[in-house]
Amino acid sequence: MSGSQSPAPVAVPCAEDVVVGARFAGDRPQVGLPQALPSLAAALRAIAGSVAACSRWPVTALTLTLLVGSPLADEVSLPRTVAWSAYPTGTQGYSQAVAIGSVLQREYRTNLRVIPGRNDVSRLATLRAGRVQFSAGGSEAVYAQEALLNFASPLWGPQPLRLAMWSIADSCSFSFAAAADSGIETVADMRGRRLTWVQGAPSLNNGSRTLLAYADLDWDDVVKVEVGGYPASVDAVINDRADVVGGGCNSPPFLRLEASPRGLRFLRFPHDDEEAVQRVLDRLPWYIPHLTTEGPTVPPEGLEVFTSPYPMLVSMEDAREDLVYSLVKAIHIHFDRYKDNAPGANGWALERQHFERAFVPYHEGAIRYWREIGAWTEAAQARHEDNLRRQAVLREAWEDWLAEVEAARPDEQGWWQRLRRSWEAWASGAATDAETFEQGWLAARRAALESRDMVTIIDD
C-alpha cells in the first residue's frame, strides 16, 4: 500500500512504579508553573509510557506527541536575587518594579531588589559598576549610549547598553502642562512665557527643549525658571513663578496643580502637522506620537502628545544571556498578574514593544525570547543591526578623540610652558578642561555620525 505508514507502537516495559517515579526534578517545593513545566513533561511522558506498556490499547509515537506536546522552550531560571535601579520611591517606574517584583517572588522565589537613583547618572552608575544587573529608567539610557549631556565626560563616554524590553503606558512619559489661567493653549503660545528648568536633570530639560521644537522654539524663546527638582517645578507653577512645566501626563504632582487656584491644561501636539512632528523626532528619534487617555483634564477621546518608553529596562552588553532571557520571559508571561497593580504597568504588553522603533540594540537573551514566541520580525532585526553599527561608530569616535586629547597634553614641566601649551591648545580647539573636552567630543561625535549618514540627535 502506497503512502505514509502508520506510526509503530512504542514498546515500554511495564513497571508498577513508573508513575510514582515521575517526580519533579530538584524536589523544589512551591515552585511556579513555568519552572515545573519541563519536569511535568517528563512526568507525562512516564505516564504515557506506563499506559503504552500496561494497557491493551497500543499507544503510538504520534499519540505520545499529542499527549505531552513538542519539546518545551527553555524554562525560566532566575537567581535568588535580581537587582535593578529605578527612579525614586513613589514614581511610576518604582511602583511598576515593585509590582513585577511581587510576581517574581510568588512564582520563582526571586527577590527583586530595587535601588532608587535620584538622577540619570546614579541610576546607570550602579549598573556599570555591577551593583545591579538592570536599570529601569528613561531616556538616560540613550544619552549614555550616545555620550551626551552628563555622559559626555571622560568618566563615561558611549556605553554598550542593551535593551531587554520597555513600557509604553496609556499615559505619556513627558509633555507640557500649563496653568489653566495662563492663557497658553498651544506650544506656539509659549513664546516669551515662563518654563521651568530643573537643575541636575538634563534629560528633563532636553525633553522640554525637544517639545519646544514642535513650534520651532528653543530655550532662548522662553523665560527659563530654574528650580531645584521635579516637585519644585510643579510648585513653581502653582505659586505663579512659572507658567508651564514638563512631566508625565499622570504624574501625581500634577494633581496638586489641577486642584490649585491656577488649574491645569495639557497642551496639544497635533500629529497632522508633519513638519512639526519631524522637528521633534529629529531631536529625539525614540519619541513616539501618542494618543494619551490618562491624566488630569485629559478628555475621554484622548489627547495628541508624544511619549517615550518608560521604564526602559536595559542591561550592560555582557549581562548573562540566560538571566536576560529568563527575566524577559517572566515579565511577559505573567503580564496579567501585575498589569493592574501599578500606574502604567499595562505598558509592558507585547503589542507595545515596537521593536522596530528602538534606538538601543537589544540583548541577545531578549532577542532569543522574542524570536522564540514569533514576535521578532525582519524589521526588528534590521533596526537592531543598525543600532549595533551606531554603537560601534560611537565607540570608535570616542577612542579616536581620547587619543587626540592624549596627544595634545603638554610635555613641558614648567608652569610657563604648560600655560603656553594650554593657550595654544585652547586656540586650536583641543581639549584642556572638562568644558573644552565636551565641546571637542560633541564635534568629533557629530562628524563621525554625519560621515556615515546617521542621525546626530541635535545637541548644540
- Residue 332: its pLDDT value, please? 98
pLDDT digit string (tens) for 266-312? Answer: 999 999 999 999 999 988 889 999 999 988 999 999 999 999 999 99
Q: Which of 141-150, 188-197, 413-422 has the lowest mean pLDDT?
A: 413-422
Residues 25, 277: Cα–Cα separation, whole Å: 55
pLDDT over 50 at 4, yes or no:
no
Please give the pLDDT value at position 80: 97
What pLDDT is attached to residue 345?
94
The model's confidence at residue 36, banded by pLDDT at 50, 70 and 90, is very low
Identity of the residue numbered 249? C
The alpha carbon torsion through 314, 210, 220, 458 (nearest 10 deg) reads 70
pLDDT at position 74, please?
Answer: 67
Model pLDDT, residue 311: 93
Residue among 257, 106, 91, 105 at smallest CA distance from 167: 91
Q: What is the CATH number of the domain that holds 242?
A: 3.40.190.10
Domain end call among 72, 87, 103: 72
Closest CA to 248 of 290, 192, 185: 290
The verdict on 302 and 185 lying in the same domain is yes
**What is the H or E stretch that residue 111 is in?**
strand 111-116
User: What band does 191 get if pLDDT is binned at 50, 70 and 90?
Assistant: very high
Q: Determine the 3-state secondary structure of 262 from DSSP.
A: coil
Mean model confidence pLDDT for the chain: 83
* Least-confidence region, from 66-75, 147-156, 357-366: 66-75
> Quick one: what percent of the chain has pLDDT higher than 70?
78
**What is the average pLDDT across 110-135?**
94
Question: Angle 370-107-117 (CA atoms, 0-180°, nearest 5)?
Answer: 75
pLDDT of residue 149 exceeding 70, the answer is yes
Q: Which residues contact 16 (CB under 8 A, 6 or more apart)?
A: none
9: helix, strand or coil: strand
**pLDDT tens digit string along 299-326?**
999 999 999 999 999 999 999 999 999 9
Three-class secondary structure of residue 169 per DSSP: coil
Give the Cα separation of 230 and 247 in Å (integer).
Answer: 8
Type of residue numbered 177: A
- Residue 457 placed within a domain: no
Per-residue pLDDT averaged across 234-241, rounded? 97
Burial of residue 139 (CB within 10 Å: 0-12, 13-18, 19+) is buried
Q: Does residue 311 have a cis bond before it (omega within 30 degrees)?
A: yes
Out of 249, 280, 307, pick the residue that ends a domain: 307
What is the enclosing helix (H) or strand (E) of 285?
A: none
Question: Does the pLDDT of residue 197 top 90, yes or no?
Answer: yes
pLDDT of 424 reads 62
Query: For position 420, what pLDDT does the model report?
Result: 57
Beta strands in 126-205 (DSSP E): 134-137, 161-166, 175-179, 194-198
Closest CA to 441 of 394, 386, 387: 394
Q: pLDDT-based confidence at 428, cuts 50/70/90?
A: low
**Range name among 164-178, 305-319, 420-434, 441-455 with the lowest pLDDT average:** 420-434
Helix or strand holding residue 1 (H, E): none
Determine what percent of the chain falls in helix, strand and coil, rounding each to the nearest 5: 45, 15, 40
Q: Please report whether residue 265 resides in a domain.
A: yes
182 and 301 co-located in one domain: yes
Domain assignment present for residue 45? The answer is yes
379 assigned to some structural domain: no
Query: CA-CA distance, 188 to 458, in Å (whole number)?
Result: 20
CA 313 distance to own-chain centroid? 4
**Which of 307, 331, 365 is the endpoint of a domain?**
307
Residue keyed to cell 493653549: 185
pLDDT, tens digit (0-9, with 9 covering 90-100), for 320-379: 999 999 999 999 999 999 999 998 899 999 999 999 999 999 999 999 999 999 999 999
Per the domain annotation, does 239 fall within a domain? yes
Whether 365 is covered by a domain: the verdict is no
What 8-state DSSP symbol labels residue 74? P
Binned at pLDDT 50, 70 and 90, residue 35 comes out as: very low
Tell which residue, 54, 146, 91, 187, has the closest CA to residue 397. 146
- Find the helix packing angle between 321-333 and 92-108, rounded to 10°: 100
B/e letters for 10-19, b = 16+ CB within 10 Å, e = fewer, are bebeeeeebe
Instruction: Specify the pLDDT at position 262.
Output: 98
Nearest to 162 by CA among 122, 123, 135: 135
pLDDT of residue 64: 34
Please report whether residue 164 resides in a domain: no
* pLDDT of residue 429 exceeding 70: no
Tens digit of each residue's pLDDT (9 = 90 or more) over 407-424: 876 554 554 555 555 556
**Count of domains in the chain?**
2
Which has the closest alpha carbon to 244: 192, 307, 298?
192
For position 442, what pLDDT does the model report? Answer: 94
The DSSP code sequence of 297-361 is T--TT-EEEEE--SSEEEEETTS-HHHHHHHHHHHHHTHHHHTTSSTTGGGGSGGG--GGG-SSP
Average of pLDDT values for 225-253?
A: 92
Q: Is residue 85 situated within a structural domain?
A: no
66 & 181 share domain: no
Dist CA 82 CA 114 (whole Å): 9
Domain hosting 257: range is 175-307
- What is residue 266's DSSP assignment? E
